[in-house]
Structure 1
Amino acid sequence: MTATSPTATQPRTVVIYRLGSLGDTLVALPCFHAIERATPGARRVVLTNFPVSAKAAPLEGILGGSGLIDQALAYPVGTRSLKALWTLRKQLRTLGADTLYYLTPARGMAAVWRDILYFKLCGFKHIVGAPSTPALQTWQVVNAQGELEPECARLARSLCADGSVPRIDLHDRSLWDLRLSPTELANADRITSHLDGVPRLVINMGGKVAEKDWGEGNWMALLNGLAHAHPNLGLLVVGAQEDSERARRVTGQWPGPVVDACGRLSPRESAAAMRRASLFIGHDSGPMHLAASVGVPCVGLFGGYNRPVVWHPFGQGHRVIHRMSGVQDIGVNEVLTQALQALADLAETPTAQASRG
């Protein structure tokens, strides 16, 4: 089948290559906005991973309905099947797109050049953002203390390297806009109506990776300390359905209103529900990045799973405790101190809370 060409009634198509989970998608959010601005009127097809037995990609859970993408196409991650790669090549050529935006995390020079060769064979004349040099493969050191740039900055730097996409200002809040719909906002408000009129705290305790689990006992002790200091706070728990049983146990003694939203909200609805929160507390996860995207200050708990700063929530007002020896080595009092200070800071700047409501 031959590739088609755009006509007066058929918009130009571009392809965006982005693999990963919810959190991976969220750190790339400014790049998706930048691509939209660079391709006005274009149809944007994202090439991404689909979990086994899933009808939708994790990326669609974040960007679906935002207008930033129009379609998701499955990429066979890790395949060695020439048949699968040939089938994908035919699908990509059928789109008639000549430009591919490469947003996948750096995986080494051999991998990126293999990707470039494959996508050239798929008919793409322009591949924008591929980290094809050592400088684009690695995170830059940004200060004398050796601190690294966040992954969202490395992605933006790679995407803009050849000048075809204008420089991205990561501090521009409009680039973090999920464009939540009225329906998503209404569904979130309905699920969390028990918290109406009450300042609320959000926690996320779940996670697919055991190394990121802070432990049920620690969460109970933390909430006990927070309840003593702020007994009138509402509590919202977000996560997957399998996190609900732990949420019930951990929040059983909370004195204020509690909403267990685990498994009851889509990722975008979770962001909508969190937008009214005073503070988010949780481990390195998609929900943490969702909270940051809607402007909620975060207390993030990080262990040795990732390098410091690279995957921290982006923006002002976040507090991160990163223990490379493991998240289990983070003390309850450390987290409690940071959470109480964050709540105190917010009380001194009530306009920040009002702007999210």
Structure 2
Amino acid sequence: MSVRHIVVFRLGSLGDAVVSLPCWHQIRERFPDARRTLLTNMSISAKAAGVPAVLGGGGFIDDFVEYPIGVRSAGSLWTLASQLRALRADMLVYMAEPRGLASVYRDWAFFRLCGFQTIVGLPWRDDDRNNRVDPATGLEELESLRLARQMAGLGPIDLSRPGAWDLCLSDAEMAVGTQATAVFGETPFIAINMGGKDKEKDWGQANWERLIAELGAAIPGAGLLAVGAPSDSARALALRPHWPGPLVDACGVLSVRECAAALEHARIFIGHDSGPMHLAASRGLPCIGLFGDFNRPAKWHPYGSAHRILHRMDGLAQISTTEVLEAATSLWHRAAIAA
């Protein structure tokens, strides 16, 4: 079948975009000549970039159509359906987050109304809609793995193959990232993110200040790069009295893709359960992820075995600075040996 135009339905923000990267590579490789339109919501928070900000510069998508979240009026749905019909696309790739069977049927009916005869990825089976649970450990399957199973209609998706997590950054984006961290020179540095769109995932400013002071003593001379949204900048600057080495506040200064380029030069990453953590993991950084009871382990953990995840279902506040310090120094020295 000749496929000239594909519409990909993917909602969410930064983390949702990053965990879907292997699926996007599969689409691009399977249909290299097809036009790709992203159907997605606009950014749901000033603290979280939308999917287009992550994928837009890497050749993954050619354009996008806004999907109005929470709007169910007949008029708005008819307008959207008219937009999608006008595209005359050959295929819809349904790259949706887990949802109930009733919602899947509703979406199927809507997209058929929009004229899509071929829809790939509809999760009719419970197994495709839900993250598998390891009976021995009780751990949930990573969302990136579940999504790859849901997209089996595109062919096998190997998350471990070289290039599966490549954001395809441009030379210009790489140059901006390099310039943002130029103050460090040859000094190795730690990247951190203290923000996120959900308050329940915030470890707290006092914990961060204690950690940074102890890290500065444990790893003297290292640099510190803070990344995040503009609203995270004040918190980052408040760390300056506690950090003895050079500190760069890049919160709100860099685009998502420029931030990824800057992270490329870091030695380790420490952060909340948030999009920047997944962004750092996609660049190959060993990550220390701080998780509370917002999600069960290990659904939203970053992909890869190099990370140290501190996940406390009795609450994020139960993670001590000592635990994080030990994890950070261990990863730091391991990364130094590998460098």
Q: CA-to-partner distance for each residue in 1:113-161, whole Å, 9 max, x for gaps? A: 100111011111111111111111111134622222100111110110x
Q: Aligned with 1:146: secondary structure?
A: coil
The separation in 2 between residues aligned to 1:261 and 1:90, in whole angstroms, is 41
Q: Which residue of 2 aligns with 1:31?
A: 23
The separation in 2 between residues aligned to 1:136 and 1:87, in whole angstroms, is 30
Q: Aligned with 2:186: secondary structure?
A: coil
The separation in 1 between residues aligned to 2:142 and 2:100, in whole angstroms, is 18
The separation in 2 between residues aligned to 1:264 and 1:348, in whole angstroms, is 31
CA apart distance, 1:207: 1.5
Q: For this pair of structures, how many residues does the alignment match? A: 337
After superposing on structure 2, the runs of 4+ consecutive aligned residues of structure 1 that deviate more than 3 Å are: 51-54
The separation in 2 between residues aligned to 1:51 and 1:27, in whole angstroms, is 17
Asked whether the equivalents of residues 44 and 50 of structure 2 are also in contact (C-alpha less than 8 Å), the reply is: no
The separation in 2 between residues aligned to 1:293 and 1:93, in whole angstroms, is 35
Alignment of 1:160-309 (within 5 A): 160=152, 164-309=153-298
Tell me, which stretches of 5 or more residues in structure 1 are unaligned?
1-5, 351-357
Tell me, which stretches of 5 or more residues in structure 2 are unaligned?
none
Q: CA-to-partner distance for each residue in 1:50-88, whole Å, 9 max, x for gaps? A: 14799x971111001101111110001111211111111
Q: CA-to-partner distance for each residue in 1:222-252, whole Å, 9 max, x for gaps? A: 1111111111111100011111111111232
Letter paired with 1:145: T
The separation in 2 between residues aligned to 1:40 and 1:290, in whole angstroms, is 25
1:63 is aligned to 2:51? no
Q: Structure 1 residues 108, 182: closer, same or farther in 2, change over 3 A?
A: same
Q: Which residue of 2 aligns with 1:17?
A: 9
The separation in 2 between residues aligned to 1:286 and 1:296, in whole angstroms, is 14
1:84 is aligned to 2:73? no
More relative contact order in 1 or in 2 (CA 8 Å, sep 6+)? Answer: 2
Give the TM-score taking structure 1 as reference length: 0.91
The separation in 2 between residues aligned to 1:194 and 1:346, in whole angstroms, is 21
The separation in 2 between residues aligned to 1:269 and 1:207, in whole angstroms, is 18
Asked whether the equivalents of residues 224 and 248 of structure 2 are also in contact (C-alpha less than 8 Å), the reply is: yes
User: Aligned to 1:157, which of 149, 152, 170?
Assistant: 149
The separation in 1 between residues aligned to 2:337 and 2:173, in whole angstroms, is 31
- Cα RMSD between the aligned structures? 1.7
Comparing 169-178 with 143-152, greater Cα deviation is found at 143-152
The separation in 1 between residues aligned to 2:294 and 2:230, in whole angstroms, is 24
Asked whether the equivalents of residues 223 and 251 of structure 1 are also in contact (C-alpha less than 8 Å), the reply is: no
Letter paired with 1:330: I
The separation in 2 between residues aligned to 1:271 and 1:310, in whole angstroms, is 22
Q: Aligned with 1:144: secondary structure?
A: coil
The separation in 2 between residues aligned to 1:253 and 1:87, in whole angstroms, is 54
User: Aligned to 1:342, which of 313, 324, 331?
Assistant: 331
Identity among equivalent pairs (%): 50
Asked whether the equivalents of residues 45 and 197 of structure 2 are also in contact (C-alpha less than 8 Å), the reply is: no
The separation in 2 between residues aligned to 1:129 and 1:120, in whole angstroms, is 14
Q: CA-to-partner distance for each residue in 1:282-301, whole Å, 9 max, x for gaps? A: 00111101100000000000
The separation in 1 between residues aligned to 2:209 and 2:195, in whole angstroms, is 14
User: Aligned to 2:307, which of 299, 305, 318?
Assistant: 318
Letter paired with 2:250: A
